Amino acid sequence: MPRAIRGYVRAIDRLNRFIGRVAMYLIFVLVGVLLWSSVSKAVFTPSLWTLETAQFVMVAYYVLGGPYSLQLGSNVRMDLFYGGWSTRTKAWFDSFTVLFLMGYLGILLYGAVGSTAYSLGYFGMEPFAFFWDLLKTLVTGGFDAAGEKLGFLERSPTAWRPHLWPVKTLLCIGVTLMLLQSLAELFRDIAIIRGEEI
């Protein structure tokens, strides 16, 4: 395999390993939020923020930990036939099926970008153009100029009413990391098929 591909696979593995290990500790944040929710309901006035905060933390835990899970091979697989195959046969099968995963993640990323643009007040049909224009405005005019490009910020319809753009941005980041890790897995499978290691 070319040196650039080996470097890509190692860099993405390192990045997702670091992010995944940090994301593992979000389970303790989730437990703390849910514990506070139980205590506040029993002793004090129930907190409005606990349910949605728990949901947002769980999204971060799941989305940021997914690429690390894929890297470790700890994702769920149907082992009826797969478990008995040779390493090379598994690599052939994985290199084929990862293309479906990448297609799905591409569609998911497109939808996530559109949803994030909507949460920032953009109601048009070109979310990537909106973000490109927002980035150019931020670089040339600063935060105030970029803030003028934003529309009505979407909020949750609950009593707490948090802004939704942070969790939607996190979803875009997580899907992008999963897409990059899927590409690294494809390169790794091609290397196994060729009898090489990365």
Question: 70-94, pLDDT tens digit by residue?
Answer: 999 887 777 778 888 899 999 999 9
Written as six digits, the tokens of 36 are 């506070």
Query: Half-sphere exposure of 99 toward its Cβ, with a 13 Å CA cutoff?
Result: 6
pLDDT tens per residue, range 139-182: 999 999 988 889 889 999 988 999 999 999 999 999 999 999 99
pLDDT in tens, 4-38: 999 999 999 999 999 999 999 999 999 999 999 99
- Report the alpha-carbon distance of residue 172 to residue 189 in Å, rounded: 26
pLDDT, tens digit, 9 for 90 and up, residues 56-70: 999 999 999 999 999
The domain total for the chain is 1
| pLDDT value of residue 44 | 84
Is 198 within the bounds of a domain? no
| Mean pLDDT across the chain | 93
Among all chains, which residue has been given the structure tokens 């992008």? Answer: 176
- Kindly report whether the global pTM for this prediction surpasses the value 0.85: yes
Q: Look at residue 48 and tell me if it is in a domain.
A: yes
- Say if residue 189's pLDDT is above 90: yes
Helix or strand or coil: residue 121?
Answer: coil
Which residues span the domain enclosing 90? 3-193
104 in a domain, yes or no? yes
Q: Would 52 be classed as within a structural domain?
A: yes
Compute the C-alpha angle 36/41/46, nearest 5°. 90
Q: In sequence order, what are the beta bridge partners of 163? A: 155
